[in-house]
Amino acid sequence: MHPTPREKRVTWAELFFDLVFVFAVTELSALLREDHSWPGVARALVAFVPVYWGWVGMSVHTNTHDVDNPVDRFGIFAAGLAGLFMALAVPGAYHERGLLFGASYYALRLVLAALVFRGRQMMLGPFSVPVLVSGPLLVVGGLLDATPRVLLWGLAALVDLATPTLARRRISRIRFHAGHLPERFGLFLIIALGESIVSVGGPAATAAHIDAMELGAVAESFALACALWWVYFNFAADAIRHSMATTTVQNIVIRHVLSYAHLVFVGGIIAVAVGLAESVAHPAGLLGTGVAGLLFGGCALYLATFGYTRWRMFSHWSTTRLSAAAVVLALMPVAARLPALAALGTLLVVVSALNVVEHLMANASKRSEPEPVAEVDL
């Protein structure tokens, strides 16, 4: 049993590294907005996984190592440059920039492996498998035509995602800083939510004329982003930190709640951001099936994932959030036939109602039988 490490804070170098992924999320949103058919969603997801997984790898490294030194700072900057090249390649990842995308991911993983294994023998695990398997697969995929490229990159994504589970025994021996990783993943969620603001505000700011309906759509979009923020940061963020600090097997929380669930959280928010951008662009027009799928489907996915995280952390279902996700899905066919402004308002009412109900339930729970705030993730 390892002693609990002292409290670790996010470094300035890590925050600087995150700026690259602000840009990457923006480019991924643009890729999804360009084509949000089912094949387009699949291609965006396949491109999203290596971007996200590269960020996860760096966050795990900075959690388990002292990186506040010149060598690691330069390593973080070098990985950031590789991430920037990945982001630049995203718009043409399935065209002429496929090799740039794959090679940039491989470079990022090589830098990470050099930081992690410097002075030590390389061991099979989450930092070596991308160097030996998934990185080369992305490079080779970048040389192929569109369909084989998607298949090979999809295989690489599955390899990366499966590695922590396959290596869980080895990882379980590592003691992670309980506060640092939840903070890092919360920051990435903020990046995704920020993209929803950029997606809405950017086009509106450059428009020649903004009428009342467009201003209303912008206001509803911002309020929805606030409501989604509230769903995560009012209870769930503390619950994750509490679970990391008290669990005997941190690896379970890191794999299932942080690495896997946050992939879905962020993906859902990116889908919502694209739906918001389309809604603000045409607030009086019918939402349509595709945009409704992104907006309502992404929101339902985001809410439903809390059911999974609560089960993994506390072996209880998040009934309020699963119920809200079901309501959002049920409303999706109706929303497709509504003007975008009305559909946005409907979604905002559902998510806001969820937050109000959970607030009232939490207060009632405190009055009847006080319990740790981190456990009140409804």
Q: What is the pLDDT of residue 375?
A: 47
> Measured between alpha carbons, how far is 47 from 147 in angstroms, rounded to an integer?
14
Find the distance separating the first CA and the last CA of the chain, reported in whole Å. 32
Residue type, 291: V
Question: Are 63 and 181 in contact, with CB atoms under 8 Å apart?
Answer: yes
Q: What is the pLDDT of residue 369?
A: 63
The parts of the chain modelled with pLDDT lower than 50 are: 1-4, 373-378
Per residue in 275-297, pLDDT tens?
A: 999 999 999 999 999 999 999 99
Per residue in 319-330, pLDDT tens?
A: 999 999 999 999
> Measured between alpha carbons, how far is 181 from 241 in angstroms, rounded to an integer?
8
Q: What is the pLDDT of residue 179?
A: 86
Task: Tell me the CA distances in angstroms from 144 to 72, 153, 154, one per residue in order.
Answer: 35, 10, 13
| Cα three-residue angle 97-101-102, rounded to 5 degrees | 120
